[in-house]
Amino acid sequence: MRKSKVIRRTRETAIKCSINIDGRGKNKISTKIGFFDHMLEILSTHSLVDLTLSAKGDTEVDLHHTVEDCGYVLGESILKALGNKRGINRYGYFYVPMDECLSRCVIDFSGRSELVWDVKLSLKKLGEMDTELFQEFFKAFAKSSEANIHISNLYGKNNHHIIESCFKAFARSIRMAASIEKKTKNLIPSSKGSL
């Protein structure tokens, strides 16, 4: 089983995270940010990564530090659980339709971090959460997981549907990229021999 635990404590946040990449999507999540909790539950459910995450942050200031630091912790947890990445597919991609919208995510656990975020939203908030924080979450995840991530909303009108479809596409892309490829299970998926 590919598992990890990460604890992050700063003056702004205290976060505990444990994951099992080879899980069944069981989750227990508490960030005290309702819509964000919902998105993290979706991430766990559709990636099949078991996720336990609790976060306390300086939400009296705003939600930025909590959301961003959850991205850092979750990305670091994935990176640790992947280990030397021997046998993984490395690449993952998925399209998710949700009613009137369609979103796509492509991920590469390459060892190089980059986020391309091509998502336009017409609302400033979803629930209590500033919509600009979704990009901050994915940017932090990309950095700490050392992954190349491209997320695009191809079309759509409803902001809830757009973000939810992005998280579902992201989850399924992780599921594909982190899966072990039977034909190359003892090999590092790189011509360089390391990732």
The residue type of 186 is N
DSSP letter at 88 equals B
Q: Is the residue at 193 inside a domain?
A: no
What pLDDT shows up at residue 195? 83
Q: pTM of the predicted model, to two decimals?
A: 0.96
Q: pLDDT tens across 97-133, in order? A: 999 999 999 999 999 999 999 999 999 999 999 999 9
Q: Is the residue at 31 inside a domain?
A: yes
Q: Is the residue at 82 inside a domain?
A: yes
Q: Is the residue at 141 inside a domain?
A: yes
| C-alpha to C-alpha distance for 76 and 64, rounded to whole angstroms | 18
Question: What proportions of the chain, in percent to the nearest 5, are helix, strand and coil?
Answer: 35, 30, 30
The domain that holds 117 is classified in CATH as: 3.30.230.40
| Residue 1: strand, helix, or coil | coil
What pLDDT shows up at residue 187? 85
Q: Is the residue at 194 inside a domain?
A: no
The total domain count for the chain is 1
| C-alpha to C-alpha distance for 175 and 147, rounded to whole angstroms | 14
Q: Is the residue at 38 inside a domain?
A: yes
Q: Is the residue at 54 inside a domain?
A: yes
What pLDDT shows up at residue 188? 86
Q: Is the residue at 190 inside a domain?
A: no
Residues of the chain with pLDDT under 70: none
Q: Which residues span the domain enclosing 126?
A: 3-184
